[in-house]
Amino acid sequence: MKVMTARVVGGKIDEGDAQLEEGAAVAVLVSQDSNFHLSESEQEELELALAEIRRGDYTDGRELLNELKGLAGR
């Protein structure tokens, strides 16, 4: 998995110098803030978090809600 930022130029995503494989599936997050940018450390943090998720090292949203409900009942 690769994390990168890009700009829209002429209605198309311009990835700059980054190279993507032809036909690669991508996910696009559009920020309402035109100054959206991830620093190098933020990109690294995101990549580490995604690696944890791929390993199954995460808490499912339903599981988290159940834990929170249990804490609220104390």
**Contacts from 37-41 at CB under 8 Å and sequence distance 24+?**
37/5, 38/3, 38/5
Top pLDDT among 1 and 73 is at 73
* pLDDT tens digits, 8-66: 889 888 888 878 888 888 888 777 766 777 888 988 898 898 889 889 998 888 888 99
pLDDT at 34: 66
For residue range 1-20, list pLDDT tens digits in order: 677 778 888 988 888 887 88
Predicted confidence at residue 55, as pLDDT, reads 92
Distance CA 16, CA 5 (A): 9
* C-alpha–C-alpha distance, residues 66 and 72, integer Å: 10
Residue 30's pLDDT is: 76
User: Which residue's entry shows tokens 């829209």?
Assistant: 8
Cβ contacts of residue 6 below 8 Å, gap of 6+? 13, 14, 15, 16, 18
